[in-house]
Structure 1
Amino acid sequence: MRTVTVVGASLSGLYAARELRTQGFDGRLVIVGDEPHRPYDRPPLSKDFLTGRAGEDHLLLADDEEIVALGAEWLLGTRARGLDARGRTVLLDGGRTVSTDGVVIATGASARRLPGDGLVGVHTLRTLDDARALRAELADGPRQVVVIGGGFIGAETASSCAALGHPVTVVEAAPLPLVPHLGAEMAAVCAALHRRGGVDLVTGTGVAGLRGTGCVTGVELSDGRTLPADIVIVGIGATPNTGWLVGSTLALHDGVLCDEGCVTALPQVVAVGDVARVGGSRAEHWTSATEQPRVAVANLLAGRTVETARSLPYFWSDQYGARIQFTGRRRDGDTVRLAEGELIDGAPADGGFLALYERDGRTTAVLSVDRPRPFTRARRELARGQSRAQPAAL
């Protein structure tokens, strides 16, 4: 290959560019990014950046020296508009094109929105520009904040807003936040963190609409109640950025469909990160975005799938001064056993706890709240067990 184009200039795109150089590609490297910013880290946006403990310089994923060393052509603030049928030309804004021998799709995902979220005071939190706008509005003094969605982004943002002194209410349509990830028993434990942080949690009801003319004034719930709101933060998940690929020959279904080596139906096109559905699943986690590029690039340069990306799922979240870590593959019906610490009134005690999910006498997943060292050991043991087991056994 003489030219490789990485479409997407965030975490997974940068890691793919690094891997291309590390694995010996010395040809023309083009990196296309729809945001004007150099690659930055997204997890701090809802935490230290939002609270003002970290500036924009702390978000950068690559310094000037590395940017130069990569020897890439950076096309930032440029949106990809299409990929030709053979995957050899990337179409850009304004009718420009990039002829290429290989493509790494790393376009990520965009925050889902609600009807009427064009009102002043309604925010999503996915990009640096999102975080800038929300941080500026939160600096205007105590405001009534309503967070729609109790997932990781919603919980972290609620925690940051509460730390800044704003009264916060979290609305979650499910009976408990994080049930799909943690199961009902442990989700109830983590829900208690909201109460510990002084945040109101409203569960089991959806959002019927937003109220206000020009500026948001409230959130109307599906049960008929209306919550007053000066600021509304919508955290209801993300949609993979595949619209620019419609009309190409690539298979799209909640992401770009790939085999277990991140390779699409076109061997010269691979996909990584939030946009990639690898081996039947799509993982919107930092670790997937950093681990998949190594395998994807190896397969791209080989012209076929020679390696697979089958790492153990892992994610973490910082909420209300607690660090939640989870690894493995939980299924409904798994039993949960506390291995470390205790719970007081359904909430983590000081020092946290370690919980093991088990099925047929085997550990399938591990959850930790403020128990980083035992979690690291358990994660390592679980990964070793996975490497010895057949995939179907997990």
Structure 2
Amino acid sequence: MPEETFVIAGASLAGAKAAETLREEGFEGRVLLVGEEIERPYERPPLSKGFLLDKEPRDKAHVHEADWYDKHDVELRVGTSVASIDRGAHQVRLSTKEPVSYDKLLLATGASPRRLDVPGSKLQGIHYLRTMADSAALKQALAPGGRRVVVAGAGWIGLEAAAAAREHGNEVTVIEPEPVPLHAAMGPELGGMFADLHREHGVVLRMDEGVAGFWGAGQVSAVVTSGGAEVPADVVIVGIGVRPNSGLAEEAGLEVSDGILVDQSLRTSDPDIYAAGDVANAYHPLLGRRIRVEHWANALNGGPAAARAMLGRDVVYDQLPYFFSDQYDLGMEMSGVAAPGEYDEVVYRGDAAGREFIAFWLSGGRVVAGMNVNVWDVTGDVQALIRSGRPVDAARLADPGEPLADLA
């Protein structure tokens, strides 16, 4: 019987962890891991945290040591991508024109930053943060200090980049069309806390304003806001979200809508093709709907889940969305979904004013999301509360004397 071949399109965290899991689960066939970047697979959080702050070396971000792939007989092709999929022939064509037949195919193609299509957007000095190369270039721009930095977007990437720019000794202005930072991620209540945090560290926040354009003679020198103001800038960082890289799947005739549609086993509309990570819009059995999660933990856990499903295991991928962030002296972890309109109450446990607390988002008396701020080792209990789906008494939830484990 000919050797089976599993192809993984995307040498990302999800792709690399899928390859690792295939070998751990005893798969002895060919594993081809294809990535368009020249770097071997790496994790993205350091790009806006430790590496950007120059507190962690480049190699710490890599998923595996350089020799891991050879030792585990995983063919890693960097600087290469899957250019097309022929589903009928069970074959992909690489960017090198090489055809490769597959038995199972995993799409872990990730996402790309949304671009600002405004006048002056091609000027030098405008940065997007997605790849290791992006982070290295941005660190070089920030590290001298004394620069005027403008950040477009007050989401997670924008705020982490703003914090890094301040820690490198730069003047920082953040421009955001929503009324508070992180409004789409957690609503106005906690978004206001992050606004206060950044203002206390000298960041100027221009809320309810967008970016209308850029000025400069070759190099950016100012950002024009939607209100007509001109904000001086030596460096601009754009963090306005990402788009899933689902074009390859769409061209192959797979079902696509805000990412590649997959079931609870991460299987696409083709039973031999799977998707994981940022690009997968997966049915979540606990939430009872589809959700596309762009955070690190989804790639970390989704890649292995897809690998097991490719091997025929009975897989139900129901990991709760999870995210962590470090900004100045604030560290936090968040589980669940707390977008505006998906909750009706926020309950605090601990010292909210001193930023050492847990916040719970409730809908109909049930916990749908939780965030621990400078409080640690509670993520398991927070996620158990969300998973239980049980109504919780708000007074007990707010009482630090009530063990969280007793409320789930």
TM-score w.r.t. the length of structure 1 is 0.91
What residue number does 1:281 align with? 291
Asked if the contact 2:367–2:389 (Cα under 8 Å) also holds between the matched residues in 1, the reply is: no
Matched pairs, number: 379
Asked if the contact 2:366–2:386 (Cα under 8 Å) also holds between the matched residues in 1, the reply is: no
Moved more, 119-128 or 1-10: 1-10
What residue number does 1:300 align with? 310
Deviations 1:137-179 (A, max 9, x none): 2234411000000000000000000001000001111111111
2:325 is the counterpart of 1:317:
yes
TM-superposed deviation, 1:377: 5.0
Asked if the contact 2:144–2:168 (Cα under 8 Å) also holds between the matched residues in 1, the reply is: no
* Cα distance in 2 for residues equivalent to 1:161 and 1:382: 37
TM-superposed deviation, 1:383: 5.0
* One of 115, 122, 129 as aligned partner of 2:133: 129
* Cα distance in 2 for residues equivalent to 1:312 and 1:216: 41
TM-superposed deviation, 1:123: 0.3
2:273 is the counterpart of 1:269:
yes
1:281 alignment partner AA: I
List aligned pairs for 1:42-191, cutoff 5 A: 42-86=44-88, 88-115=90-117, 116-191=120-195
Deviations 1:172-198 (A, max 9, x none): 111111112212111111221111221
Asked if the contact 1:3–1:102 (Cα under 8 Å) also holds between the matched residues in 2, the reply is: yes
**Mind listing any 5+ residue stretches in structure 2 that lack a counterpart?**
284-289, 392-408
* Cα distance in 2 for residues equivalent to 1:386 and 1:15: 30
Deviations 1:30-65 (A, max 9, x none): 010000111112101112211211121221110145
* Cα distance in 2 for residues equivalent to 1:50 and 1:312: 28
Question: CA 1:87/1:293 → structure 2, altered by over 3 Å: closer, same or farther?
Answer: farther
**Mind listing any 5+ residue stretches in structure 1 that lack a counterpart?**
344-348, 389-394
* Cα distance in 1 for residues equivalent to 2:88 and 2:243: 25
What residue number does 1:252 align with? 256
Deviations 1:235-291 (A, max 9, x none): 011111122334212112221111121100111100000011111211001111111
* Cα distance in 2 for residues equivalent to 1:251 and 1:387: 34
Asked if the contact 2:335–2:379 (Cα under 8 Å) also holds between the matched residues in 1, the reply is: no
1:7 alignment partner AA: A
1:89 alignment partner AA: Q
Asked if the contact 2:112–2:245 (Cα under 8 Å) also holds between the matched residues in 1, the reply is: yes
- The percent identity for this pair of structures is 39
What residue number does 2:401 align with? none
* Cα distance in 2 for residues equivalent to 1:16 and 1:126: 21
* Cα distance in 2 for residues equivalent to 1:40 and 1:57: 9
TM-score w.r.t. the length of structure 2 is 0.88
List aligned pairs for 1:5-20, cutoff 5 A: 5-20=7-22
TM-superposed deviation, 1:86: 2.9
What residue number does 1:370 align with? 374
* One of 25, 28, 31 as aligned partner of 1:29: 31
2:48 alignment partner AA: S
TM-superposed deviation, 1:118: 2.3
Question: CA 1:254/1:342 → structure 2, altered by over 3 Å: closer, same or farther?
Answer: closer
DSSP-derived class of the 1:145 partner: strand
* Cα distance in 2 for residues equivalent to 1:4 and 1:10: 16
2:297 is the counterpart of 1:290:
no
What residue number does 1:385 align with? 388
1:15 alignment partner AA: K
* One of 195, 202, 205 as aligned partner of 1:198: 202
Moved over 4 A (4+): none
DSSP-derived class of the 1:155 partner: helix
TM-superposed deviation, 1:381: 2.9
* One of 331, 352, 360 as aligned partner of 1:342: 352
* Cα distance in 1 for residues equivalent to 2:255 and 2:390: 30
Moved more, 52-61 or 104-113: 52-61
Deviations 1:174-233 (A, max 9, x none): 111111221211111122111122111111011111111210011111111111100000
Asked if the contact 2:52–2:135 (Cα under 8 Å) also holds between the matched residues in 1, the reply is: yes
* Cα distance in 2 for residues equivalent to 1:377 and 1:26: 35
TM-superposed deviation, 1:89: 1.2
Moved more, 111-120 or 52-61: 111-120
- The alignment yields a C-alpha RMSD, in angstroms, of 1.9
